[in-house]
Amino acid sequence: MLTELQDGYGREVYAHQHGERGFEVVERDDGYVDLSGGPAPYFAPFEEWPLRQQRAVEFVAGRVLDVGAGAGRVALYLQEKGHDVLAIDNSPLAVEICRRRGVKSAAILPITQVSSKLGTFDTIVMMGNNFGLFGGFKRARWLLKRFRAITSPKARIIAESNDPYQTDNPDHLAYQEMNRKRGRMSGQLRLRIRYRRYATPWFDYLLVSRDEMREILAGTGWHASRFIDDGGSGYVAVIEKD
C-alpha cells in the first residue's frame, strides 16, 4: 500500500474534494514535466464527460469492476443506472473519496492484484486512459488472461487509451524514439504524479494505437469489437471475448 507521502494522486483528489486549489504535476523519466488540467475532470458529472466516454458506457452490462476508479465518477454513474459496481484504486485517499461520495463498494487494490477473490464480473471498465494501467506489452497480456478468468462468458472490457503517435511535440517524439531504442513500446511512459510535497512511486503507463492494442489482445482470448472516438487522439475500445 502507498504511504502517505507516496499518495500524490490521492492527495490532489482529496484537496479538490475539500475545496482546496487543485493541480497535478506529471513527471516523466526523461525529465519532462507537465501540468495537467487538474483533478476537476475526476469529479465530472456524466454531462461533462467526453462524447466517446458517454457513448462507451452504453456497452456496460451486469456486474462491473471499475479499475483505477479515482474519485468514483464512473462508478457513481453506473450505480445510478442499477449496476453492482466494485471500484478499485491503488490510492488510499482516492478510495476514501469514492466512499465519501457514495460509491457503495470500493477497495484499495492495484490492478496487478485483481483475482478471483473479487468474484465474477460482466464488464471491466478502464475509463480515463486507464488501458494505460496495463503498463507494458507483457504485463498487459498477463492481466488480460487474468481478466478472462474472472469474467462471465460474454463479458466486455471498456478501455480508454490515447494514440501516442498523434503528436508533433518534439519532446514526445524524442521520448518515443528513446523507448524504441531501449526495447519498450513507443507509448510506454515512465511517470510519477506530484502534488505539493507528495509524489507517487515511478510507474509504467501505456499509451497505444489501435493496431498496437489489437496486437496486445491477440491470443489472450479477447478482441476489440469496435473503437469509439470523437475526433481527437483519445478513443475507447469495446473489447469482447473471442
Domain of 227: which CATH number? Answer: 3.40.50.150
Which structural domain, as residue segments, surrounds residue 171? 4-241
What does 124-178 look like in DSSP terms, one character per residue?
EEETTTGGGGG-SHHHHHHHHHHHHHTEEEEEEEEEEEE-TTS---HHHHHHHHH
CA dist., res. 200 & res. 215, Å (int): 30
Is residue 111's pLDDT more than 80? yes
State residue 38's pLDDT score: 86
DSSP lists the bridge partners of residue 161 as: 235
State residue 92's pLDDT score: 98
DSSP lists the bridge partners of residue 159 as: 126, 237
CA dist., res. 76 & res. 70, Å (int): 11
**Can you tell me the mean pLDDT for 5-25?**
93
Q: Please state the domain count of the chain.
A: 1
Neighbour count for residue 4 (Cβ, 10 Å):
10
Reported as a single tens digit per residue, the pLDDT across 50-77 is 999 999 999 999 999 999 999 999 999 9
User: What's the whole-model pTM score?
Assistant: 0.97
Average pLDDT of the chain?
Answer: 97
| Dihedral sign of CA atoms 150, 206, 236, 105 in order | positive
State residue 48's pLDDT score: 97
Closest CA to 84 of 101, 106, 68: 106
Grid cell in block for residue 44: 465530472
State residue 22's pLDDT score: 77
**Can you tell me the mean pLDDT for 118-138?**
98
Taking every pair of Cα atoms in the chain, the longest distance, rounded to a whole number of angstroms, is 48
DSSP alpha helices (H): ranges in 67-136? Answer: 73-80, 92-100
